[in-house]
């Protein structure tokens, strides 16, 4: 994403955005989207007195990244969302007059408090706002910005996004940034009152020169850093690796946070979809679960987004745990099951046909859960959103290497759309397998939003069939020895009521 502050030509006015959005066949129905206009990062995630609050980067005036507000929605089940009044509006003057960029919510002795990035020109500086008890009304602090400049030598336009926590009687904060010629970084600060911050130093700095261009390249700047402890003694540092125009992908370090430093043990990709699961943020909910959302960016042109009247979806909320392999394991929250309607079951057994169209399973709102067992060298492919003539189809592929241990999860989008202007690049990543070659695969199809979980590894993407009404088929093809142990599919109900949602409730 470029941070251009002008609207693309031809952008419609706010009028009618929600109606346009409603008519768009590509708009998800059980992933959270804004009522209309633009949505990007999840912000201020919290579970507050039994209510989940999802704030998000929002432009209610146009489907373009311009003068970003904080949208707000609440839920008691992480599935059905109520639109709340816009939480933060860019100031008419002051440090956030060009946008209220990403940030977090903390509980300051019972007072909900936002720490976010104010944008003015190309300056990004930390700001804060105090909330009412119901988290609906927010008052910006008169002292904003609460940090008046980045550490010396750091670009003012690369100093944003926050992770704030309480530790040993003080507040600590990370601000995402980059050190020119060195790499992305997270600067550590400390405060007694969230207002006056002492700079401690970089918690960890990447190496922008190494593996440039690789899928795990750490970029020149780290956006949306998120530090949390998980499992027994592992600290995870999530960040979105960024480089102007070329790199947007979420990564995480596993390692140990101690004192003022973070000692990494390993670097991993957070989601194989790359930019399609960007700028994630997580919170520990009142049940003790680590819940994470990411921004599912669009894969179509700015003009197509403008015509659609909306832009950007939130991922499904995910439960994140630490796997026995020391990596993060991700799954959609179990609450989603309330949207499951008719179930179709496919009989278990060896898959002998090279291709089987599953006629009973059809739709553009589906939840598919299957367990496959692959012999070494075998491949299984699940096609979704397939037209009857097969001209459009999106294929989820799992492959077990000949050595039996290594596998690959791959998403083929080359035929996902006949529209040459949409992104159809494939996506792939490593698939962990046990000795039996078992693959637990979950595929959630929600119009243009697709989320795949294979043995706990996620891959999010967007797809835009040109014949959306016909692209509802599902099929399986195999090469080699593949057994189907289980296959269940559900039609998914919509999580939103019919009718346009007010852009500014
Ligand atoms: N989006 C926000 C920034 C953040 C970026 C601006 C990540 O705060 O760095 O809308 O997508």
- The CATH number of the domain holding residue 459 is 2.60.120.560
pLDDT at 67 over 60: yes
Domain presence at residue 21: no
pLDDT for the residue numbered 4:
43
Ligand 1: distance of its center to the CA of 143 in Å?
23
pTM of the model: 0.96
Ligand 1: atom nearest CA of 68 is 10
Ligand 1: distance of its center to the CA of 41 in Å?
6
pLDDT at 133 over 90: yes
pLDDT for the residue numbered 11:
54
274 and 381 share a domain?
no
Domain presence at residue 20: no
**Rounded Cα gap, residues 398 and 413, in angstroms:** 14
Task: Name the residue of 161, 162, 248, 270 to mutate for ligand 1: max ligand atoms within 8 A of Cβ.
Answer: 161
Grade residue 19 by pLDDT with cuts at 50, 70 and 90: very high
| Helix, strand, coil share (%) of the chain residues, nearest 5 | 5, 55, 40
**Rounded Cα gap, residues 333 and 337, in angstroms:** 9
154 and 194 share a domain?
yes
pLDDT for the residue numbered 41:
98
327 and 356 share a domain?
no
Residue tagged active-site, from 24, 41, 98, 302: 41
329 and 358 share a domain?
no
Grade residue 245 by pLDDT with cuts at 50, 70 and 90: confident
**Cβ atoms of 285 and 264 closer than 8 Å:** no
The average pLDDT across 435-463 equals 98
pLDDT for the residue numbered 9:
55
350 and 228 share a domain?
no
Q: Write the pLDDT tens digit of every residue in 101-128.
A: 999 999 999 999 999 999 999 999 999 9
Ligand 1: distance of its center to the CA of 105 in Å?
16
pLDDT at 239 over 60: yes
pLDDT at 20 over 50: yes
Q: Which residues of 298-335 are buried (b: 16+ CB within 10 A; e: fewer)?
A: bbbebebbbebbbbbbbbbbbbbebeeeebbbbbbbeb
Task: Name the residue of 57, 120, 242, 249 to mutate for ligand 1: max ligand atoms within 8 A of Cβ.
Answer: 57
Grade residue 209 by pLDDT with cuts at 50, 70 and 90: confident
Grade residue 431 by pLDDT with cuts at 50, 70 and 90: very high
Average pLDDT taken over every residue of the chain: 95
Specify the residue with its C-alpha closest to ligand 1, atom 10.
101
Spell out the residues 6+ positions from residue 232 whose beta carbon is closer than 8 angstroms to its own.
none
Task: Choose among 14, 19, 11, 15: nearest CA to 501.
Answer: 19
Domain presence at residue 369: yes
Q: Write the pLDDT tens digit of every residue in 455-501.
A: 999 999 999 999 999 999 999 999 999 999 999 999 999 999 988 99
Domain presence at residue 8: no
191 and 154 share a domain?
yes
Ligand 1, pocket residues at CB < 6 Å: 1, 40-41, 57, 68, 101-102, 117, 160-161, 223-224, 278-279
285 and 405 share a domain?
no
Distance in angstroms between the alpha carbons of the first and the last residue of the chain = 27
Ligand 1: distance of its center to the CA of 101 in Å?
6
307 and 187 share a domain?
yes
Above pLDDT 90, what percent of the chain?
91
The average pLDDT across 266-278 equals 98
pLDDT at 505 over 80: no
230 and 104 share a domain?
yes
Ligand 1: atom nearest CA of 57 is 10
Q: Which two tokens stand for residue 470?
A: 């016909």
**41 part of the active site:** yes
Spell out the residues 6+ positions from residue 7 whose beta carbon is closer than 8 angstroms to its own.
62, 64, 66
**Rounded Cα gap, residues 237 and 163, in angstroms:** 10
Q: Write the pLDDT tens digit of every residue in 6-16.
A: 555 555 566 68
- In this structure, the strands spanning 473-479 and 355-362 are antiparallel
**Cβ atoms of 26 and 33 closer than 8 Å:** no
Task: Choose among 380, 399, 383: nearest CA to 391.
Answer: 383
3-class secondary structure, 338:
helix
Q: Tell which of 303, 334, 365 closes a domain.
A: 334
Q: Tell which of 297, 316, 334 closes a domain.
A: 334
50 and 75 share a domain?
yes
Ligand 1: distance of its center to the CA of 257 in Å?
25
pLDDT for the residue numbered 1:
43
How many separate domains does the chain show? 2
CA atoms within 13 A on the CB side of 481: 8
Q: Tell which of 317, 334, 351 closes a domain.
A: 334
3-class secondary structure, 490:
strand
3-class secondary structure, 21:
helix
Domain presence at residue 6: no
The average pLDDT across 56-82 equals 97
Task: Name the residue of 127, 248, 279 to mutate for ligand 1: max ligand atoms within 8 A of Cβ.
Answer: 279
240 and 371 share a domain?
no
**Cβ atoms of 242 and 224 closer than 8 Å:** no
Q: Which two tokens stand for residue 386?
A: 């397939």
Above pLDDT 70, what percent of the chain?
97
Q: What is the CATH number of the domain that holds 233?
A: 2.115.10.20
303 and 348 share a domain?
no
Q: Write the pLDDT tens digit of every residue in 306-365.
A: 999 999 999 999 999 999 999 999 999 999 999 999 999 999 999 988 899 999 999 999
pLDDT for the residue numbered 5:
42
Instruction: Show the domain range for 229.
Output: 28-334
Looking at the DSSP bridge assignments, the partners of residue 47 are: 52
Q: How many residues does the chain have?
A: 505
Q: Where is 349: in which H helix or E strand?
A: strand 349-350
pLDDT for the residue numbered 326:
96
Ligand 1: distance of its center to the CA of 162 in Å?
11
Answer with the residue of higher pLDDT: 156 or 164.
Answer: 164
């Amino acid at each position: 994403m470029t941070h251009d502050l002008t609207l693309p030509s031809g952008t419609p006015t706010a009028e009618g955005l929600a109606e346009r959005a409603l008519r768009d066949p590509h708009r998800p129905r059980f992933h959270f989207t804004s009522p209309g206009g633009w949505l990007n990062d999840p912000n201020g995630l919290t579970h507050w007195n039994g209510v989940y609050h999802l704030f998000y980067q929002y432009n209610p005036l146009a489907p373009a990244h311009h003068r970003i507000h904080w949208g707000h929605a609440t839920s008691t089940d992480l599935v059905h969302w109520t639109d709340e009044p816009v939480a933060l509006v860019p100031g008419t003057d002051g440090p956030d007059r060009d946008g209220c960029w990403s940030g977090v919510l903390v509980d300051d002795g019972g007072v909900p408090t936002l720490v976010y990035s104010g944008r003015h020109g190309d300056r990004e500086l930390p700001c804060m706002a105090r909330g009412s008890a119901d988290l609906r009304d927010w008052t910006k602090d008169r002292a904003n910005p609460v940090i008046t400049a980045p550490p010396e030598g750091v670009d003012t336009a690369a100093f944003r996004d926050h992770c704030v926590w309480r530790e040993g009687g003080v507040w600590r904060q990370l601000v995402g940034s980059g050190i020119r010629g060195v790499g992305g970084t997270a600067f550590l600060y400390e405060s007694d009152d969230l207002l006056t911050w002492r700079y401690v130093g970089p918690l960890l700095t990447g190496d922008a020169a190494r593996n440039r261009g690789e899928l795990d390249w750490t970029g020149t700047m780290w956006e949306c850093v998120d530090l949390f402890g998980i499992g027994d003694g592992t600290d995870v540092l999530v960040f979105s690796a960024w480089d102007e125009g070329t790199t947007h992908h979420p990564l995480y370090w596993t390692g140990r946070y101690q004192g003022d430093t973070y000692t990494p043990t390993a670097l991993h990709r957070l989601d194989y979809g790359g930019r399609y699961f960007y700028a994630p943020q997580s919170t520990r909910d009142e049940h003790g679960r680590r819940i994470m959302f990411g921004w599912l960016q669009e894969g179509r042109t700015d003009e197509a987004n403008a015509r659609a009247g909306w832009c950007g979806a939130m991922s499904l909320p995910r439960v994140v745990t630490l796997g026995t392999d020391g990596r993060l394991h991700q799954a959609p929250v179990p609450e989603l099951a309330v949207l499951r309607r008719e179930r179709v079951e496919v009989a278990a057994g060896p898959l002998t046909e090279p291709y089987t169209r599953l006629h009973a399973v059809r739709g553009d709102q589906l939840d598919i859960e299957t367990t496959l067992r692959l012999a070494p060298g075998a491949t299984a492919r699940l096609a979704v959103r397939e037209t009857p003539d097969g001209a459009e189809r999106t294929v989820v592929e799992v492959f077990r290497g000949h050595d039996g241990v290594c596998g690959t999860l791959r998403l083929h989008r080359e035929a996902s759309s006949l529209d040459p202007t949409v992104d159809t690049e494939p996506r792939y990543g490593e698939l962990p397998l046990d000795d039996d070659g078992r693959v637990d695969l979950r595929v959630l199809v929600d119009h243009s939003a697709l989320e795949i979980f294979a043995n706990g590894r996620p891959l999010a993407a967007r797809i835009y069939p040109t014949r959306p009404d016909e692209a509802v088929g599902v099929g399986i093809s195999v090469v080699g020895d593949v057994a189907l142990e289980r296959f269940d599919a559900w039609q998914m109900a919509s999580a939103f009521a019919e009718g346009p949602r007010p852009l500014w409730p």
